[in-house]
Amino acid sequence: MINLIYHNKKTTAYVKLLEGQHPNGATVRRRGRGYSDFDVIENLIRVGWLEKRAAGPRGGTRYFTTNAGLEALKGVA
């Protein structure tokens, strides 16, 4: 199970699902040692809430929210 809200705070998963609704999609940011948004995005892809698509002038990967992801977001609103 992926938490979208934890201790009344929005998680990175929640933010990535919101970004995935944008026409440009969500992107990956590297953070400190051993942790990145990529870990969260891979989990969201695994459960079917995000999908990977190639887009952009340099062929960068963008991630977009699926219908199941939209339903998950509606469930926490």
Domain annotation for the chain: domains and CATH numbers? 8-76 (1.10.10.10)
The neighbouring-strand residues paired with 50 are 65
The residue with tokens 């929005």 is: 10
Residue-level pLDDT at 3: 86
> d(Cα 48, Cα 15) in Å, to the nearest integer?
16
φ/ψ (deg, to 5) at 34: 75, -5
For helices 67-76 and 12-20, what crossing angle results, to 10°? Answer: 130
> pTM for the complete prediction?
0.80
pLDDT digits (tens, 9 = 90+) for 44-68: 999 999 998 876 666 678 899 999 9
